[in-house]
Amino acid sequence: MTVELIKSTRTLDQLQIVWDAVIIGAGPAGAFAAMQLAGDKKILLLDKAHFPRPKVCGCCLNGAACATLARAGLSEIFAQSGAVPLHALELHHGSDQAVLGLPANGYAMSRNFLDAFLIRKAVSLGADFVCGVTAKVNPGAESTLVTIDVTASDYCATIETKLVIVADGLNGHALDRINSFAVQIEKDARFGCGTIIEGAQTLKKGRVYMCCHPAGYVGLVALEDGRYDLAAALDREFSRQSGGPARAAEAVLKYCRFPLPAGFSEAVWHGTETLTRKRERVAGHRIFVIGDSCGYPEPFTGEGMAWALQSAEAAAVLAKAAIIEWKQHLIADWQTQHEKLIGGRHHRSKFIAYSLRNGMLCDLALPVLKNFPFIGEAVLANLSGSSDKRIAFGKEIHC
Ligand SMILES: Cc1cc2nc3c(=O)[nH]c(=O)nc-3n(C[C@H](O)[C@H](O)[C@H](O)COP(=O)(O)OP(=O)(O)OC[C@H]3O[C@@H](n4cnc5c(N)ncnc54)[C@H](O)[C@@H]3O)c2cc1C
């Protein structure tokens, strides 16, 4: 499925008004926040990329992510995209494998479709969208407006806003000028990489394949248009020694005796900065941080999209109050709410990734899961974060 290029709704010289909120980053967190705030407010959504843009992601939406989209009245996205209902997880480690049933509430959907859909929705509700610009927030301790420097290849200006929502993801640097928003990166953090593979595959639709190796893991899933998304988290040294991310991913697949997908050697790869990171502060004077920009553990449990959407949904409630009148307690409010909503789930995901690295999960748990899959299925149901049934065509279907 091809997604048309999304055009900016304003030219760069039309940005000089006082915005109610500027949102930096139009990934799922930023676009979803813009959608929640759009209406009678002047909302500007900015992104340095042009959409659709490539994004390293496993493209799996768990139950919590789907339920958040449904709560915002976006259930039609599943039918419109032709999203693939997910029903099984096939775990591989060496010659061992186990197949677990997934809770019947998740979908695979390409990021091209999802991200473009959310931006279009925000624009249709009245938000302005400008792409191809990089934004940096300026420090300004007690001022009534936040200033943001916006640059494009041939443009540079400072714009003003009552509130800024930073949703610039894992690779974002929009807050680099404010020391108190520093990011702590874990010493041995892995990096992410991925590609979309064209061509007929023998893999089953609706099944997530996860191949595990002591130095990383590779996930594969069929998308709505028949292409395959391949996403991996790898040790940097392993990747370097293997000759780069593609060769390292190939080594993981071979270690698991997993057939190399057709088209693998022609695929174009993208990468991320190091994954496991955390920002101690996710709020400041007239600033809220949401999505991956707050920190990210590892992608093994496939929860990042749910965290991005849910943090956007929750921050939008505080943002509405902040636009009407800024109160200093909003800083502590978002800090506490974010920790409550996402903090524990980040820790759990980190613990699972740690167990995987130390062989506990694969060496000890996989043989057990093979014989007692219901144990793993109970864990997966809990990780999916929602007991809702799958949403299809705007209503529940029972699987
Ligand atoms: C290998 C891998 C596999 C994954 N698999 C899954 C999965 O299967 N399921 C799942 O739920 N999650 C998965 N995730 C996590 C998921 O991709 C992220 O959690 C999600 O993309 C976060 O959304 P976001 O909107 O916070 O950030 P992003 O999607 O990264 O969006 C940030 C946006 O900000 C823009 N930007 C950055 N800096 C600036 C700037 N200064 N000015 C303007 N724009 C800027 C970028 O261009 C980008 O468009 C995976 C992640 C990795 C690395």
Range of the domain at 144: 1-55+110-186+275-351
269 with 281, same domain: the answer is: no
Structure confidence at residue 43 (pLDDT): 98
How many Å lie between the centroid of ligand 1 and the Cα of residue 171? 8
Structure confidence at residue 367 (pLDDT): 75
Structure confidence at residue 393 (pLDDT): 42
Is residue 361 a part of any domain in this protein? no
Whether pLDDT at 366 is above 90: no
Structure confidence at residue 390 (pLDDT): 60
How many Å lie between the centroid of ligand 1 and the Cα of residue 22? 18
Q: 399 pLDDT band (50/70/90 cuts)?
A: very low
Q: Distance between CA 101 and CA 314 in Å, rounded? A: 31
Write out residues with Cβ below 6 Å of ligand 1.
Answer: 24-30, 46-49, 55-60, 65, 134-135, 167-170, 172-174, 192, 194, 231-233, 272, 291-293, 299, 302-306, 308
Structure confidence at residue 395 (pLDDT): 46
Q: Which of 8, 35, 48, 270 to mutate to test the pocket of ligand 1 (most atoms within 8 A of CB)?
A: 48
144 with 116, same domain: the answer is: yes
Is residue 366 a part of any domain in this protein? no
What average pLDDT does the structure give for the chain? 91
CATH number of the domain at 230, please.
3.30.70
140 with 227, same domain: the answer is: no
Final residue belonging to a domain, choices 258, 274, 290: 274
Q: For 138-244, where are the E strands, in sequence order?
A: 146-152, 155-161, 164-166, 183-185, 191-197, 207-213, 216-222, 228-234
139 with 154, same domain: the answer is: yes
Structure confidence at residue 200 (pLDDT): 67
Gyration radius of the chain over CA positions: 21
Final residue belonging to a domain, choices 245, 274, 303: 274
Is residue 73 a part of any domain in this protein? no
Kindly give the number of the ligand 1 atom that is closest to the alpha carbon of 306: 11
117 with 234, same domain: the answer is: no
Q: What is the pLDDT of residues 97-152, one digit of tens each?
A: 999 999 888 999 999 999 999 999 999 999 999 999 999 999 987 789 999 999 99
How many Å lie between the centroid of ligand 1 and the Cα of residue 369? 31
Helix (H) or strand (E) holding 37: helix 28-37
Number of independent structural domains in the chain: 2
269 with 310, same domain: the answer is: no
Q: 349 pLDDT band (50/70/90 cuts)?
A: confident
Whether pLDDT at 244 is above 50: yes
> Which residue, by CA, sits nearest to atom 49 of ligand 1?
27
> Which residue, by CA, sits nearest to atom 29 of ligand 1?
27
> Which residue, by CA, sits nearest to atom 27 of ligand 1?
169
Q: Which of 89, 112, 168 to mutate to test the pocket of ligand 1 (most atoms within 8 A of CB)?
A: 168
Whether pLDDT at 1 is above 80: no
Q: What is the pLDDT of residues 213-234, one digit of tens each?
A: 999 999 999 999 989 999 999 9
Q: Facing residues of 213 across strands? A: 216
Residues 13-28 have a mean pLDDT of 96
134 with 233, same domain: the answer is: no
Q: 389 pLDDT band (50/70/90 cuts)?
A: low
Whether pLDDT at 299 is above 90: no
Structure confidence at residue 130 (pLDDT): 97
Structure confidence at residue 328 (pLDDT): 95
218 with 324, same domain: the answer is: no
> Which residue, by CA, sits nearest to atom 19 of ligand 1?
304
246 with 344, same domain: the answer is: no
Structure confidence at residue 388 (pLDDT): 56
CATH number of the domain at 32, please.
3.50.50.60
Which of 30-39, 60-69, 91-100, 287-296 is the least confident region?
Answer: 91-100
Asked if residues 339 and 66 have their Cβ atoms less than 8 Å apart, the reply is: no
Q: Which residues fall within 8 angstroms of residue 88, CB to CB, at 6 or more apart?
A: 99, 100, 101, 102, 204, 206, 207, 208
Is residue 320 a part of any domain in this protein? yes
pTM of the model: 0.94
133 with 31, same domain: the answer is: yes
Q: Which residues fall within 8 angstroms of residue 330, CB to CB, at 6 or more apart?
A: 283, 318, 321, 322
149 with 29, same domain: the answer is: yes
φ and ψ at residue 99, rounded to 5 degrees: -115, 125
Which of 170-184, 266-280, 364-378 is the least confident region?
Answer: 364-378
Final residue belonging to a domain, choices 308, 327, 351: 351
Kindly give the number of the ligand 1 atom that is closest to the alpha carbon of 28: 25
Is residue 294 a part of any domain in this protein? yes
> Which residue, by CA, sits nearest to atom 18 of ligand 1?
304
Structure confidence at residue 391 (pLDDT): 58
How many Å lie between the centroid of ligand 1 and the Cα of residue 355? 24
252 with 305, same domain: the answer is: no
Is residue 227 a part of any domain in this protein? yes
Is residue 19 a part of any domain in this protein? yes
